[in-house]
């Protein structure tokens, strides 16, 4: 989350309301990368929600690499098939209870931990544990094998619903929508910047403000199907 940057191997180059909002039609996904700059709007070239893949397609593409991501990053034993299935269940349950699009939860989770249930806890001024590197959350399976379903659900809940110490995706989407006065995909990209940096230059989402400059662009690409293709963001 805040001020966290993960090292990955060459193999993995890388709501505002209690009710979900209607979803636009989904596009066919592509494992490719486009470097987006600017304010996150369609006018600035960022993908509209209609460009996002469907939940089923995005889940299948990302679940296919989860059996390897712990090992690729040196984070311990790779995810088991049971743990991967538990991640899917947790995302779907938390998406339903919070109204946060499950595709966005998945994209942030992959950005933060690559779906490795045993991802280490980081601390760059804020303790960031678990699958979503939440703001001082309680959920973690660092060094734990197997990872219990209850802990997987807690990790997804911490990152999406927030914790006693900090906001999650639900609150940050609401903040971005309020600030921007929109309920479009632009608010999701701004929320991604807020999740990573704690604040945002809403006119320039590739300004990391001390955190990961490519974060919002990465998340936009993940929503369109990016998994393993080389990134063209070198900031």
The model's pLDDT over 43-56, given as tens digits with 9 standing for 90+, comes to 999 999 999 999 99
Query: Is residue 14 in some structural domain?
Result: no
Q: What is the pLDDT of residue 124?
A: 87
Query: Is residue 88 in some structural domain?
Result: yes
Give mean pLDDT, residues 64-78: 98
Q: Which residue has the higher pLDDT, 7 or 29?
A: 29
pTM equals: 0.90
Query: Is residue 101 in some structural domain?
Result: yes
The model's pLDDT over 114-159, given as tens digits with 9 standing for 90+, comes to 999 999 999 988 999 999 999 999 999 999 999 999 999 999 999 9
Query: Is residue 47 in some structural domain?
Result: yes
Assess whether pLDDT exceeds 70 at residue 8. no
Q: What is the pLDDT of residue 9?
A: 34
For position 47, which CATH number holds? 1.10.530
Assess whether pLDDT exceeds 60 at residue 16. no
Assess whether pLDDT exceeds 60 at residue 4. no
- What is the domain range of residue 33? 29-223
* pLDDT confidence bin for 25, thresholds 50/70/90: low
Query: Is residue 183 in some structural domain?
Result: yes
Beta strand spans in the chain (E)? 122-123, 127-128
Query: Is residue 34 in some structural domain?
Result: yes
Give mean pLDDT, residues 33-39: 97
In angstroms, the Cα distances linking 2 to 110, 112, 167, 169 are: 15, 10, 11, 13
Neighbours of 212 (CB within 10 A): 21
Six-digit token pair at 184?
């479009």
Query: Is residue 4 in some structural domain?
Result: no
Assess whether pLDDT exceeds 60 at residue 164. yes
Q: What is the pLDDT of residue 170?
A: 98
The model's pLDDT over 174-224, given as tens digits with 9 standing for 90+, comes to 999 999 999 999 999 999 999 999 999 999 999 999 999 999 999 999 999
Is residue 225 within 8 Å of 65, Cβ to Cβ? no
Query: Is residue 12 in some structural domain?
Result: no
Q: Which residue has the higher pLDDT, 235 or 100?
A: 100
Domain count, the chain: 1
Give mean pLDDT, residues 66-94: 98
Q: What is the pLDDT of residue 18?
A: 33
Single out the residue of 232, 223, 177 nearest to residue 48, CA to CA: 223
Structural element, H or E, at residue 196: helix 185-197
Give mean pLDDT, residues 11-38: 64
């Amino acid at each position: 989350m805040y001020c966290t940057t993960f090292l990955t191997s060459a193999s993995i180059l890388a709501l505002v309301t209690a009710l979900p909002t209607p979803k636009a039609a989904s596009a066919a996904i592509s494992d490719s990368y486009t470097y987006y700059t600017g304010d996150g709007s369609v006018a600035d070239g960022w993908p509209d929600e209609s460009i996002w893949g469907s939940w089923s397609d995005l889940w299948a593409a990302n679940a296919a690499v989860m059996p390897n991501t712990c090992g690729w990053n040196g984070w311990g034993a790779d995810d088991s098939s049971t743990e991967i299935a538990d991640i899917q269940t947790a995302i779907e349950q938390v998406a339903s209870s919070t109204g946060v699009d499950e595709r966005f939860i998945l994209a942030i989770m992959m950005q933060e931990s690559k779906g490795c249930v045993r991802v280490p806890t980081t601390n760059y001024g804020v303790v960031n544990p678990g699958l979503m590197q939440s703001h001082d959350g309680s959920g973690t399976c660092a060094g734990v094998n197997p990872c219990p379903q209850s802990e997987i659900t807690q990790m997804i809940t911490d990152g999406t619903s927030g914790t006693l110490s900090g906001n999650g995706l639900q609150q940050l989407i609401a903040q971005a929508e309020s600030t921007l006065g929109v309920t479009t995909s632009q608010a999701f990209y701004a929320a991604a910047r807020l999740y990573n940096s704690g604040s945002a230059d809403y006119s320039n989402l590739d300004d990391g403000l001390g955190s990961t400059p490519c974060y919002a662009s990465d998340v936009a690409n993940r929503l369109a199907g990016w998994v393993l293709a080389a990134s063209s963001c070198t900031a």
